Amino acid sequence: PFADHKAVGIQWSSKVSYETWFGLNVEFIHCIQMLPFTPITEELLPESWITEEYNVLEEAYGREEPPLSEEWKGYIIMAHAIIDPHTAYSDALELSRYDDGNTKSNTLYWIATRPGMGGLAKEKI
């Protein structure tokens, strides 16, 4: 099942689980593996993996219960920036809240510095 989900939530000494200690939401399982988003994160999240993984991660957008929080949505948008920075930038501008470990400036900086973004981000600010 882990190949289908593209991630493991917890690796124990004798098993692996598709969950976290704080919940089963897909965004928890995937995004906790990405944190924190800093300049070196681009070395840890190759475009090829995000391309595969994003199809699983975006399931959180369509889930009714529990609804996707703005805080975790921010991390999904930051991951999406690796494969589609222009859409991610527009999506980030719509966020109303950020996780305690993230900020609007960090989110926009991360997205604006993705390859392929160019100077277009400056025009939308």
pLDDT in tens, 48-97: 989 988 988 888 888 889 999 999 999 999 999 999 999 999 999 999 99
**pLDDT score, position 88:** 96
Instruction: From residue 110, give the alpha-carbon distance in Å to each of 28, 31, 105, 106.
Output: 20, 15, 8, 6
In angstroms, rounded to a whole number, what is the distance separating the alpha carbons of residues 108 and 51?
A: 20
Joined tokens for residue 102: 């993230």
**Confidence at residue 83, expressed as pLDDT on a 0 to 100 scale:** 95
**pTM of the predicted model, to two decimals?**
0.83
Residues 6+ apart with CB under 8 A from 48: none
pLDDT of residue 120: 52
Cis-peptide, bond into residue 36, ω within 30° of zero = yes
Q: Is-cis flag, bond preceding 66, omega within 30?
A: yes
pLDDT score recorded for residue 85 = 96
3-43 pLDDT tens trace: 666 666 666 677 777 667 787 788 888 888 888 999 899 89
Q: 20 and 29 in contact (C-beta within 8 Å)?
A: yes
CB 22 within 8 A of CB 28: yes
